[in-house]
């Protein structure tokens, strides 16, 4: 029962589903005959002692199956949508075969098919479904009219022509068969026009709702793409800023060279008169030179180069794990089965995700064991980092511990990010990144 309730809640257009249910109820109620039905200007005597449905149990069960079919939403696969619509028409046909149902039963069900056609297909496909429904009604009306013409002297007149009224009353209003035939034809034409008008109204209404729904979906997709583009632009802006800072650091080398130049000048000044003092100035100049050169190289490498510094992803993470093992008492288990040839975008993102995850675990989880796995699954790179630490409730820490940053890095590459954690149960991070066109 719960899967059906969840499926119902997930229906994006529940209003149309409720409309289907209302039409279904109208269809079922149309199969009951009620006593003492007034028909002005003639007061009709009781025609039936009890309320009795014209629908058999088999037809009712088939109708319920037809109604339940509406809970399942169609998808983007064209052949499945065709089967979905075809099955709906088949259930309507089987319902009519299993019982002598009339047009009061078929009309609401065929309107439901028009709604489902608009939900399933685009404009051309929904036109076809509406055309099939209209053709069904026209064919049914033709058979009803033909049957009425051949059974004018029989006690029973089809319910769609004279609903709940005995033929004797009709004969009181129309004295001959030609007038009765004219009545039947006029009512059939009126029913056809009414059904066409209702179909056009439902068709326009449902297509308007679907157009609005698809527009909202596209808007959501565009907003998501804009967020991803904004993240990429932010990363590029950060990279440009790092390069600018790197140039400034590089230019600041002039200050160190100036200080070194002063020390060298002092050394030259005391070179003949005080050799020991000159030697101390030279030693200080060499020390300044080495220190400045080391700082510049480290800063430039940190800001301008990629975090892997030209290494492969497997090697870079292995060195990261080795460094953390040396500085902590945590036991790391590292497994990988990925190709060496990956794009810089993917390698940098994966390295940052693993680095952030391990940093957070060391700071907050109090874990004693951490498992790191990088696996190639079909066309996806699956990154998993799992620990046996204290864990936490993700609902209470939606943006903390760098989670948002890892999620944004993953989604920027079209991947999926998942975090599983419970208090006392550790933390498990899974990032799945597509590799198509990115190797």
Verify that 258 and 118 share a domain, yes or no.
Answer: no
What pLDDT does 49 receive? 36
What pLDDT does 417 receive? 93
Verify that 295 and 426 share a domain, yes or no.
Answer: no
Verify that 37 and 168 share a domain, yes or no.
Answer: yes
Instruction: Compute the half-sphere exposure of residue 149: CA atoms within 13 Å on the CB side of its CA.
Output: 10
Verify that 294 and 320 share a domain, yes or no.
Answer: no
What pLDDT does 40 receive? 42
- Cα–Cα distance, 405 to 355 (Å, whole number): 12
Give the distance between the most distant pair of CA atoms in the chain.
147
Q: How many residues does the chain have?
A: 439
Buried b (16+ CB within 10 A) or exposed e, 42-59: eeeeeeeeeeeebbeeeb
- Cα–Cα distance, 324 to 313 (Å, whole number): 17
What domain range includes position 342? 313-434
Verify that 332 and 358 share a domain, yes or no.
Answer: yes
What pLDDT does 88 receive? 84
Is 60 among the domain residues?
Answer: yes
Is 390 among the domain residues?
Answer: yes
Verify that 62 and 209 share a domain, yes or no.
Answer: yes
Verify that 292 and 194 share a domain, yes or no.
Answer: no
Verify that 20 and 88 share a domain, yes or no.
Answer: yes
Residue 315 and residue 342 in contact, taking contact as beta carbons nearer than 8 Å: no
What pLDDT does 55 receive? 62
What pLDDT does 86 receive? 85
Is 240 among the domain residues?
Answer: no
Verify that 421 and 328 share a domain, yes or no.
Answer: yes
Helix (H) or strand (E) holding 206: helix 177-251
Is 106 among the domain residues?
Answer: yes
Q: Which residues does the chain have with pLDDT short of 50?
A: 1-2, 4, 8, 10, 34-52, 154-164
Verify that 323 and 289 share a domain, yes or no.
Answer: no
Angstrom distances, CA of residue 337 to CA of 313, 334, 350: 11, 10, 14
> Nearest to residue 133, comparing CAs of 158, 160, 159, 106?
106
Residue 70 and residue 63 in contact, taking contact as beta carbons nearer than 8 Å: no
For the beta carbon of residue 109, count every other beta carbon within 10 angstroms: 25
What pLDDT does 159 receive? 41
- 363: CATH: 3.30.565.10
Cis amide prior to 19 (ω within 30 degrees): no
* Residue ending a domain, choose from 273, 304, 335: 304
Helix (H) or strand (E) holding 233: helix 177-251
Verify that 181 and 216 share a domain, yes or no.
Answer: yes
Verify that 376 and 420 share a domain, yes or no.
Answer: yes
In the three-class reduction of DSSP (H, G, I as helix; E, B as strand; rest coil), residue 173 is classed as: helix
In the three-class reduction of DSSP (H, G, I as helix; E, B as strand; rest coil), residue 419 is classed as: strand
């Amino acid at each position: 029962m719960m899967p059906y309730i969840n499926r119902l809640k997930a229906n994006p257009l529940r209003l149309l589903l409720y409309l289907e249910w209302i039409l279904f109820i109208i269809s079922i109620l149309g199969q009951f005959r009620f006593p003492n039905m007034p028909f002005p200007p003639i007061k009709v005597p009781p025609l039936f002692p009890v309320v009795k449905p014209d629908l058999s149990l088999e037809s009712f069960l088939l109708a319920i199956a037809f109604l339940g079919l509406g809970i399942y939403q169609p998808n983007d696969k064209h052949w499945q949508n065709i089967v979905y619509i075809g099955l709906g028409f088949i259930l309507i046909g089987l319902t009519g075969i299993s019982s002598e149902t009339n047009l009061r039963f078929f009309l609401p069900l065929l309107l439901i098919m028009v709604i489902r056609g608009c939900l399933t297909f685009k404009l051309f496909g929904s036109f076809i479904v509406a055309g099939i429904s209209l053709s069904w009604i026209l064919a049914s009306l033709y058979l009803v009219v033909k049957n009425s013409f051949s059974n004018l002297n029989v006690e029973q007149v089809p319910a769609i022509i004279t609903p709940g009224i005995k033929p004797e009353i009709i004969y009181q209003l129309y004295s001959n068969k030609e007038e009765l035939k004219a009545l039947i034809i006029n009512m059939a034409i009126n029913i056809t026009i009414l059904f066409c008008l209702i179909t056009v109204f439902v068709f326009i209404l449902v297509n308007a709702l679907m157009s609005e729904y698809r527009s909202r979906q596209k808007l959501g997709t565009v907003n998501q793409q804009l967020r991803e583009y904004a993240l990429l632009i932010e990363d590029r802006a950060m990279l440009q800023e790092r390069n600018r800072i790197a140039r400034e650091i590089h230019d600041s080398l002039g200050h160190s060279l100036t200080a070194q130049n002063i020390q060298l000048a002092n050394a030259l000044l005391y070179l003949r008169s005080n050799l020991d003092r000159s030697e101390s100035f030279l030693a200080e100049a060499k020390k300044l030179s080495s220190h400045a050169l080391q700082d510049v190289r480290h800063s430039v490498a940190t800001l301008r180069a990629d975090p892997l510094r030209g290494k492969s992803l497997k090697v870079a993470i292995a060195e990261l794990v080795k460094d953390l093992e040396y500085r902590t008492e945590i036991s790391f288990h590292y497994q990988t089965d990925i190709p060496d040839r990956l794009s810089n975008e993917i390698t940098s993102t994966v390295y940052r995700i693993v680095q952030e995850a391990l940093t957070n675990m060391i700071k907050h989880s109090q874990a004693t064991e951490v498992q790191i796995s990088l696996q190639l699954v079909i066309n996806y790179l699956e990154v998993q980092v799992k620990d046996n630490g204290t864990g936490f409730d993700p609902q209470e820490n939606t943006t903390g511990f760098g989670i948002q940053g890892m999620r944004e890095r993953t989604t920027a590459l079209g991947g999926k990010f998942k975090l599983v954690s419970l208090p006392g149960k550790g933390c498990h991070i899974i990032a799945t990144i597509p590799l198509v066109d990115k190797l």
